[in-house]
Amino acid sequence: MGGGPGDPDLITVRGRRLLAEADVVIADRLGPRDLLDELPPHVEVIDAAKIPYGRFMAQEAINNALIEHAKAGKSVVRLKGGDPFVFGRGMEEAQALAAEGIACIVVPGISSSISVPGAAGIPVTHRGVAHEFTVVSGHVAPDDPRSLVDWASLAKLTGTLVVLMGVDKIGKIAEALIAHGKSPDTPLALVQEGTTAAQRRVDATLATVAETVRAEEVRPPAVIVIGDVVTEGPGTPTK
């Protein structure tokens, strides 16, 4: 289940209904955790970050917890932030359940890649400014051999670039985009804890973002928006 970007009001109607019917909720750190306080006392809430891993990797342990509770006849909700299939590893969990013959329902969620910029007054597309937007994961740096992102091609696009999970790598990301031809003056915004009461927006450019992140102490979770749309919306920078 995708819980949306953080504001509990931004979970879908279906998501909220199924959450209320759960026996067990396995929840990520991100997402509408305030909704967990509304669950009946009998519901078992499991913090995915605190599942004992032992000989298993984190994802394997989560998969095993889902399988164990489902086989016990429980109604299990795997509550994720954003959308479960947008860098949420939801398909891995669905495949693990399918391998055990366990049926599951996928409940899409509002992705932070669109909703968080919108909440900060930034349109990811805008007439005459951006006719496309691209969402990429920034959890590994451009020079990391594990990276599957073609940063050279992204640098040539004229639309909006949205980077998720990239706060600690944004300096190297900016360097790569500039090295491949993106203007150092390209505007950029970091929206930290978007849609929540703690939301703040910090603006920079590709040339200044690394220092800005350090000076302003920007921390995850934050969505990074790169492109001319940053200066088009009604939002104003906040610190």
pLDDT given for residue 151 in this prediction: 98
pLDDT of residue 53: 87
Q: What is the CATH number of the domain that holds 35?
A: 3.40.1010.10
Active site residue 168: no
Q: Residue 147: pLDDT above 80? A: yes
pLDDT, residue 213, reads 98
**Region 47-54 average pLDDT:** 89
Catalytically annotated residue among 9, 23, 47, 50: 50
**Mean pLDDT across 65-69:** 98
Residue 239 inside a domain? The answer is no
Is 60 exceeded by the pLDDT of residue 239?
Answer: no
Lowest mean pLDDT among 30-34, 46-50, 102-106: 30-34
Instruction: Yes or no: say if 26 and 88 are a contact pair by the CB < 8 Å rule.
Output: no
The predicted structure's pLDDT at residue 233 = 67
Report if residue 107 sits inside a domain: no
- Whichever domain contains 186, its CATH number is 3.30.950.10
pLDDT value at 84 more than 60:
yes
Across the range 208-223, mean pLDDT stands at 97
| Residue 125 and residue 92 in one domain | no
| Given 7, 28, 83, 203, the catalytic residue | 28
Q: Catalytic: 165?
A: yes
Residue 236 lies in a domain: no
What's the pTM?
Answer: 0.93
Whether the pLDDT of residue 165 is over 70: the answer is yes
User: Confidence band (pLDDT; 50, 70, 90) for 235?
Assistant: low
Distances from the Cα of 204 to the Cαs of 139, 183, 189, 215, 236, in angstroms? 20, 13, 6, 11, 12
Rg (CA), the chain: 19
Domain span at residue 53 reads 8-99
Q: State whether 208 and 187 are in the same domain.
A: yes
- Give the pairing of strands 160-164 and 133-137: parallel
52 pLDDT tier (thresholds 50, 70, 90): confident
Domain end call among 52, 72, 99: 99
Same domain, 117 and 216: yes
Q: Which residues lie closer than 8 Å to 196 by C-beta, 6 or more apart?
A: 6, 7
Tell me how far the alpha carbon of residue 137 is from its chain's centroid.
Answer: 9
